[in-house]
Amino acid sequence: MAVFNIQTREIECKIVFYGPGRGGKTTNLEYIHKTFRKNITGDLVSIDTQGDRTLFFDFLPIGLGKIKGCDVKVQLFTVPGQPQYASTRKLVLKGADGIVFVADSLKVQRKNNILSLQDLHDNLKDYGKSIFRVPLVLQYNKRDLIKEGFPVLEVDTLEKDLNKQLKVPSFPASAIKGDGVGQALKKCLELTLQHLQKELNWAG
């Protein structure tokens, strides 16, 4: 849930990168941190979990402008994707204003992608939110592995598995190379700010 600070005239919202373990969520944030360094208001912070990491940092994107005269500040988080960190994942998701779901394009991860999306659906439901109503984009990560000969799912297959009902914006990507990372984040921010604008108008 976005925080509105009347004294500083700031709106602080939260974007969460969600998805299966080792799917590229951390690499996304590391690329954003490196590429948009001049806009970052805090350090990249890591909470280590064995074999997986939860990351977050403050981020002030370019060109977001103002909503009702307030500056918009965005916090980016990742969740640990591995099954044993279910409670941590749910806690990090709490209060999310927008979500980037990072799916792993490798064929061996097909089932894990579907399970992770269902996990997102269930956790949002527990918080009284619908996956069909939150600002959400899908990122199909590791598309660069096609050129390296790895068995990779077709985008059409990923769409059928993950986006048939949701019908949200989706982006083929390579977090390690940065392809599609900025586009997915930008779209998620746009949807999130549109959602916040509506909430403010209703509140006003």
156 within domain boundaries: yes
pLDDT band at 64 (very low <50, low <70, confident <90, very high): low
Ramachandran quadrant class, 24 (left: phi over 0; alpha: psi -120 to 50; beta: rest): left
Burial class (CB in 10 A: 0-12, 13-18, 19+), 74: buried
List residues bridging with 70 in a β-sheet. 67
State the sign of the Cα–Cα–Cα–Cα dihedral 190, 194, 199, 203. positive
pLDDT digits over 71-93, tens only?
888 889 999 888 888 998 999 99
pLDDT digits over 181-192, tens only?
999 999 999 999
| Cα 106 off chain centre by | 19
203 within domain boundaries: no
55 within domain boundaries: yes
Which CATH number does the domain housing residue 49 bear? 3.40.50.300
Structure confidence at residue 44 (pLDDT): 80
Structure confidence at residue 147 (pLDDT): 93
pLDDT band at 8 (very low <50, low <70, confident <90, very high): confident
**Which residues form the domain of 155?**
3-198
142 within domain boundaries: yes
Residue 37 pLDDT more than 80?
no
